[in-house]
Structure 1
Amino acid sequence: MYNIGGYNEAKTLAEAVTMLAESPQRKLIAGGTDILVKMQHQPVVEQELLSIRKLTELKKIEKREDGTLVLGALVTFTQIANEPILQESVPALVDAAISMGGPQIRNMATLGGNVCNGATSADSASTLFVLNARLHLQSAEGKRVIPIREFYLGPGKVDLKKGEILTEIHIAPEDYRGFSGYYLKFAMRKAMDIATLGVSVACKVKDGRFDEVRIGLGVAGPTPLRCTEAEAYAQGKMMTAEVFAEIARRALTSTHARTSWRASKEYREHLVEELTQRALKVALHRAGGVYHV
């Protein structure tokens, strides 16, 4: 049962910000696919909800004149999967959207909710890490922008201050132009399951070598993370089987995998090495490149 002590619905972002400032204890609800589950399993006495699901200004996907991609916080995963702008510019984010739950969940779940839930298993998070996404937040006190890598503070904890609403997610042109990417999710079931491990990669190729590689992992630590040592090693390397294996091995140095009921620490570390190589090869194939075996 849901113990809901009150329910209000904002018609505009300005109204939502005001209502949240008046009662900071209110919980925001959009698609409801995360918060309602939390309320059911961890009941809070008379939880008051503030719905922002009708804020059309937060449902846009656009590419600005300077190339910046802007995704409203209320964009659904179905929108992401079907958006030609994103299919062309950031296909790895489309991969992540398609892997998210089933059609019913994707129709309801929002990108902003997926990020603000703070889960290391969030399907969008590792790709947004790779894309150096910047989060735009708004409250009655003003606006601020924070890199997504600074937003995650710990398991289920994010830097969302009282009264704040995530409004937009921005991806700069230099963080996707010239890159090829891929998101690969491993789960115990083939569909509608939380990731045992998620790997997102982006790479640039120049003269038969890796010009730049980015690797993001989900469920390899308490928060999503980037494999900075592996990324630094890959730069300028030939695309050989040995290099792929070494990139994957060095990706392990950034992880903090643990044993849970879904998988052991050792199995997750095996997945990091195996899936990193697989994802890199698919990204490279998408870029029209070949690697040397």
Structure 2
Amino acid sequence: MYDMKALYEAHSVEEAVALRLEHPEAQIIAGGSDVLVQMREGKRAGAELISIYGIDAMRGICIDEDGNIRIGSLTSFSHITRDPIIRKYINVLGEAVDMVGGPQIRNIGTIGGNTCNGVTSADSASTLHAWEAIVELTGKNGVRRLPIKDFYLRAGKVDIRAEEGEIQTAILIPKASYENCFGHYIKYAMRNAMDIATTGCSVNVVLSEDKKTIVRARIAYGVAGPVPMRAPSAEAQANGRPVCRETVDAFAQAVLQDIHPRDSWRASKAFREHIAVELARRCLIRSIELAGGAVK
């Protein structure tokens, strides 16, 4: 049984905002794959819940008038993986969320819930950081958008202003971030499935027309610090550099200047640093290959 004080259901974004303002301490619930588990564990005993699962306007993927890929926050992982827009422009995101849990979780879990939890191990988080996603929040003052790097405040805490009735309504991938861009994600975990990432790494590149120069490289990690993070020192070692083994090695080693993994029962700090370097190397090589280049 679930120990809850009350459950309110919203059927529109406006209704969700009104309920949020009326019950600022209430927990937003979408698919429930995280919240309900926490309640069963007694962590949210007596909580008030606001369900937004019935807001169909927050589902689906499209390209908006500015060329951004717009992913509704209630879009499930399985829909993201199968969506033709995602497959065409940012297939790596579909591959990343396809590593979340099992089929049942991927059918019910949402991209909004995965990011709003604020955890560094979320499989979508490093790819969204590497592709410079923008988070859309809607509240009593209208729509607020902010870069995903600013959305994550600290471990388990994101910038959603409950006092303003805000809920996350979408995630946007800017056209400049995905155009002519190819990427790869690797999740390192103790098991091949149904496990939380020990470390996750997402890389993407834009190559020159002759495929011999890295015009732009971006890299982001999960579980390399308290929140998902980019590695700007590594990016600087690749941007504008030739596609070659020396560039790849310099890129991979430079991530150690930016990441801040910790010791835990899952893995030591030293092991995570070792894995981070290797994942950076493999992800960059594969991204270059997907872009039509070759590392020699």
Structure 1 residues 20-31: aligned runs within 5 Å = 20-31=20-31
Conservation of the 8 A alpha-carbon contact between 2:9 and 2:50: yes
* From 170, 173, 180, the counterpart of 2:172: 170
| Residue matched to 2:181 | 179
TM-score, normalising length: structure 1: 0.97
Secondary structure of the residue aligned to 2:256 is helix
1:42 offset after TM fit, Å? 4.6
Amino acid at match of 2:224: A
Distance 1:37 1:186 in 2: 24
Distance 2:90 2:274 in 1: 27
| Residue matched to 1:247 | 251
**More displaced 10-residue stretch of structure 1: 5-14 or 106-115:** 5-14
* From 187, 190, 196, the counterpart of 1:188: 190
**More displaced 10-residue stretch of structure 1: 10-19 or 194-203:** 10-19
Secondary structure of the residue aligned to 1:43 is coil
Conservation of the 8 A alpha-carbon contact between 2:39 and 2:45: no
Distance 2:66 2:263 in 1: 44
1:273 offset after TM fit, Å? 0.5
Secondary structure of the residue aligned to 1:181 is strand
**More displaced 10-residue stretch of structure 1: 57-66 or 263-272:** 57-66
Structure 1 residues 136-175: aligned runs within 5 Å = 136-162=136-162, 163-175=165-177
| Residue matched to 2:129 | 129
Structure 1 residues 75-114: aligned runs within 5 Å = 75-114=75-114
Distance 1:17 1:149 in 2: 24
Conservation of the 8 A alpha-carbon contact between 2:99 and 2:123: yes
Structure 1 residues 207-246: aligned runs within 5 Å = 207=210, 208-246=212-250
Distance 2:248 2:168 in 1: 37
Unaligned segments of structure 1, at least 5 residues: none
| Residue matched to 1:291 | 295
Distance 1:239 1:155 in 2: 36
| Residue matched to 1:37 | 37
1:182 offset after TM fit, Å? 0.9
1:149 offset after TM fit, Å? 0.3
Runs of 4+ residues over 6 Å off in structure 1: none
Distance 1:20 1:185 in 2: 35
Distance 1:140 1:66 in 2: 24
Secondary structure of the residue aligned to 2:187 is strand
Distance 1:64 1:21 in 2: 29
What is the percent sequence identity of the aligned residues? Answer: 43
Distance 2:197 2:42 in 1: 22
What is the number of residues matched between the two proteins? 292
| Residue matched to 1:204 | 206
Amino acid at match of 2:32: G
RMSD: 1.2
